[in-house]
Structure 1
Amino acid sequence: MRLLVMLATLLLASAAHAADPEAGRTLAREACAFCHVVEDGGSGSDAVPSFPAIAREAGDNIEALRSFTVEPHPQMPQFADLSETQVDNLIAYMRSLTE
């Protein structure tokens, strides 16, 4: 019985924390578009990869996208203050670019 309660709790928590690609797009526009082209027609620099290029390169490897987001290279501002939900939303947005 305990196991069923634990599983139900995990499933409910997972459903409540579903990633939101639109929220990820909004965050990317606000925090990333200064350097990265976040979406078609967006501004950014040719010196850094676009979000669509990053998404294509990562493919289905979610951990690669997570690493890119939370462990940026030195030239990129540190976003350690992003919540897990924000990171999940950014990843959901980047994954939506390959669908």
Structure 2
Amino acid sequence: MIVAISRFRPPPDQAEGLVSRFRERSRLVDAHAGFLGLEVLRSYERQPEFLLVTRWRDREALRAYLQSPDFQVARAASVAEDATFTMYEVVGE
């Protein structure tokens, strides 16, 4: 299993709007083969950090999504231009 994490810190005045957008997300990613789930985490800081955590069956499934039109739509709607993105392989549970 692959876990992909995007980490970003939006301007304070955009944090609540971002939470609403994630709760009302389009769910296009949900239909992609190999997609296992998504979580959005927010830290308890004055200027909160957000983690967008997705789980994938394997790297090929994630790569296929990253090359899809659905990803382009999601990326265009993102306010997190300075996000970091890291892939991890799950090696133990």
TM over 0.5: no
- Choose between structure 1 and 2: higher helix proportion: 1
Query: When you count strand as a share of all residues, which structure comes out higher?
Result: 2
Please tell me whether Structure 1 or Structure 2 has the larger radius of gyration of its CA atoms: 1
